[in-house]
Amino acid sequence: MPELPDVELYCEALAARVVGSPLLKIVLKSPFVLRTAVPPLDALQGRRVKAVTRLGKRVVFEFDGDYFLVLHLMIAGRLQWIPEGGKAPSKITLAHLAFESGTLALTEAGTRRRASLHVLHGRDALAPFDAGGLEVVPATRDAFAARMRSESHTLKYALTDPRLFSGIGNAYSDEILHRAKLSPLALSQKISEEEMTRLYAAAREVLAEWTARLREQAAGAFPAKVTAFRPDMAVHGRFGQPCPVCGAPVQRIVYAENEANYCARCQTHGVVLADRALSRLLHKSFRRTLEEG
């Protein structure tokens, strides 16, 4: 799922292309992508875009007349900018939004249709889409700590809970915890003040650095390679590969549709965290420390 750095880049690229321009036409290739009936979709046609902003992991188009289009990419949704005369991939395109300078295509790989569009009228209608998560980069250390300690969760869970923190998902939570040298299973209400300070600094640094890095890579072009797995990440998606800090193999815990990637030497004092399925399968043979391997 695109997270804060990627969604920020989408918003910046879209704003540069469509703010001040009218939406000429919107075509649904999949009727299931539109999740609202009132206001009707054609209420947006001809209206000018006033702003494109991020709300958590959502992209919000603000139109004149106090209308909004909220786009959620979910896991496999992506955006493609099609210059005039170009064509979007037909099989995976869910919707087209035509503007004077080109067409925005909402695509989704796979067969599970999770990406969504909502047409809203009035700013108050945005409230249900704001989970209330704290924006980490501008937040103070005290505000971050208060939010982290407001509920008892693992650090991995807390960072990815949109009610607590905005825009952070599976990938960047791994990177943040590795930078902070903290276990993904450490409890949010039990870490020390010094550990909280490290976590706060790591969260702000990782999100700001990756946003800047992706902005530099795009160099003004529309983001084309939006992915949760990047080769220059420290641990996310790098199971079995060497940690860039200490060289130990990156470990992972798999659960449901997510996973936590971490370095046992840097983050858990050499302890390999139990993956429920794997440790249950291997039982006594499960390797609990790096030294046992």
What is the per-residue pLDDT for 290?
Answer: 57
What are the tens digits of pLDDT across the range 162-191?
999 999 999 999 999 999 999 999 999 999
What is the per-residue pLDDT for 87?
Answer: 80
- Domain 141-292 belongs to what architecture? Orthogonal Bundle (1.10)
Q: Does 278 have pLDDT greater than 80?
A: no
What is the per-residue pLDDT for 258?
Answer: 77
Instruction: Report the CATH fold assignment for 4-129.
Output: N-terminal domain of MutM-like DNA repair proteins (3.20.190)
- Choice among 9-23, 128-142, 218-232 with the minimum mean pLDDT: 218-232
List of long-range contacts for 87-90, beta carbons under 8 Å, 24+ apart: 90/29
What is the per-residue pLDDT for 254?
Answer: 87
- Domains of the chain, residue spans: 4-129, 141-292
If pLDDT is split at 50, 70 and 90, which confidence band does 72 have?
A: very high
Structure tokens at 116: 């969504």
Q: What is the 3-state secondary structure (H, E, C) of the chain?
A: CCCHHHHHHHHHHHHHHHECCECCEEEECCHHHECCCCCCHHHCCCCEEEEEEEECCEEEEEECCCEEEEEECCCCEEEEEECCCCCCCCCCEEEEEEECCEEEEEEECCCCCCCEEEEEECHHHHHHHCCCCECCCCCCHHHHHHHHCCCCCEHHHHHHCCCCECCCCHHHHHHHHHHHCCCCCCECCCCCHHHHHHHHHHHHHHHHHHHHHHHHHHCCCCCCCCCCCCCCCCCCCCCCCECCCCCCECEEEEECCEEEEECHHHHCCCECCCCHHHHHHHHHHCCCEHHHC
Tokens 């409890």, located at residue: 187
Q: Does 280 have pLDDT greater than 50?
A: no
What is the per-residue pLDDT for 101?
Answer: 92
Average pLDDT rounded to a whole number, residues 24-51: 95
What are the tens digits of pLDDT across the range 137-163?
999 999 999 999 999 999 999 999 999
What is the per-residue pLDDT for 288?
Answer: 54
Average pLDDT rounded to a whole number, residues 209-235: 93
What are the tens digits of pLDDT across the range 223-274?
988 988 999 999 999 999 999 999 999 999 987 677 899 999 999 999 999 8
CA distances from 195 to 227, 250, 263, 267 (A): 29, 21, 17, 12
Q: Does 277 have pLDDT greater than 70?
A: no
Query: Average pLDDT of the chain?
Result: 91
